[in-house]
Amino acid sequence: MKSKKNRIKKLPKASVHIEDLSGMEDEDLLEMFVRGEQLAFNVLLARYKRPLMGFIFRFLQDREASEDIFQETYLKIIKNAATFKGQSRFKTWLFKIARNLCIDRLRHLGVLTMVSADQPLSGDDGASILDRLQSPAMGPLDEVEQHNLVSRIEAVLTDVPIEQREVFILRAVLDMPFAEIAHVTGVSENTVKSRMRYAMEGLRKRLADLGAQSASEAR
């Protein structure tokens, strides 16, 4: 990561236009904001509004609560911008703050029900969470079957321990690398991978149990 000193030399002067900032790195924009350039913060807000709001909503499944957490996240960014030391990417820092606020809210709500399980993940073979959870015997799934499987995942995800659920959400929804998830959650990368494995195993078992229950009820 570039040092703050080196980055500052490349920053535009004051009174810039928002178009001048759109191609800048997050960390440079944050540094400009610390120096008093409000437009730099506006660019960061616009850049991450949709992914951050989507991330929060997938945790909380409550629009009003999600908007509150979104506002709280950016208020914390504003308050602590000068303390950012560049030891991680701005994006990682941003989502770590949002994650901690979501976890606090979840401890009160006890819900975590939405995941984008049909999106390909980076690395490995590009398979999606959906691909990894379905039984090999099922073969390719059509659109309706995929939708039904996603619905079943949503139905059982709340049974997965919260430390495993958060890793599952960060990986499946944001396609976040394990190293970044480790930084966000404050545990080692090996622990993150173990939690992801346990989450997948738990979901497979719960999906199998749900399927057996549905078959029994259909008799």
- Other C-beta atoms lying within 10 Å of the C-beta of residue 129: 24
Confidence of residue 174 (pLDDT cuts 50, 70, 90): confident
**2 pLDDT exceeds 70?**
no
Identify whether residues 99 and 153 lie together within a single domain.
no
- Using CA atoms, how far residue 83 sits from 51, 76, 80, 146, 179, in Å, is 24, 11, 5, 45, 22
Contact of 70 with 84, CB cutoff 8 Å:
no
Tens digits of residue pLDDT in 50-78? 889 878 876 776 789 899 999 999 999 99
Identify whether residues 188 and 209 lie together within a single domain.
yes
1 in any annotated domain: no
Query: Distance between CA 196 and CA 177 in Å, rounded?
Result: 12
Position 85 scores a pLDDT of: 84
Identify whether residues 64 and 125 lie together within a single domain.
no
219 in any annotated domain: no
Single residue among 111, 135, 155 that ends a domain in this structure: 111
Position 216 scores a pLDDT of: 52
pTM of the model: 0.62
Identify whether residues 190 and 135 lie together within a single domain.
yes
Identify whether residues 95 and 170 lie together within a single domain.
no
Tokens 């979901």 appear where? 203
How large is the average pLDDT for residues 7-14? Answer: 46
Query: Distance between CA 150 and CA 181 in Å, rounded?
Result: 23
**127 pLDDT exceeds 80?**
no
Contact of 126 with 168, CB cutoff 8 Å:
no
- Using CA atoms, how far residue 127 sits from 113, 118, 181, 200, in Å, is 21, 9, 19, 14
Tens digits of residue pLDDT in 77-125? 999 999 998 888 999 999 999 989 988 887 766 554 434 444 444 455 5
144 in any annotated domain: yes
What is the average pLDDT value for the chain, to the nearest integer? 75
Provide the residue range defining the domain that includes 175. Answer: 113-213
Q: How many residues does the chain have?
A: 219
Single residue among 70, 91, 111 that ends a domain in this structure: 111
| % of the chain beyond a pLDDT of 70 | 64
6-11: which pairs have CB atoms within 8 A and are 24 or more residues apart?
Answer: 7/31, 11/35
**182 pLDDT exceeds 50?**
yes
Single residue among 72, 93, 111 that ends a domain in this structure: 111
Identify whether residues 28 and 101 lie together within a single domain.
yes
Confidence of residue 189 (pLDDT cuts 50, 70, 90): very high
| % of the chain beyond a pLDDT of 90 | 30
Query: Distance between CA 79 and CA 100 in Å, rounded?
Result: 16
How large is the average pLDDT for residues 133-158? Answer: 56
Identify whether residues 17 and 58 lie together within a single domain.
yes
Higher pLDDT residue, 99 or 147?
A: 99
Position 213 scores a pLDDT of: 57
6 in any annotated domain: no
Identify whether residues 194 and 120 lie together within a single domain.
yes
Could you tell me the two tokens for 69?
């957490």
Give the chain's domain count.
2
Contact of 20 with 12, CB cutoff 8 Å:
yes
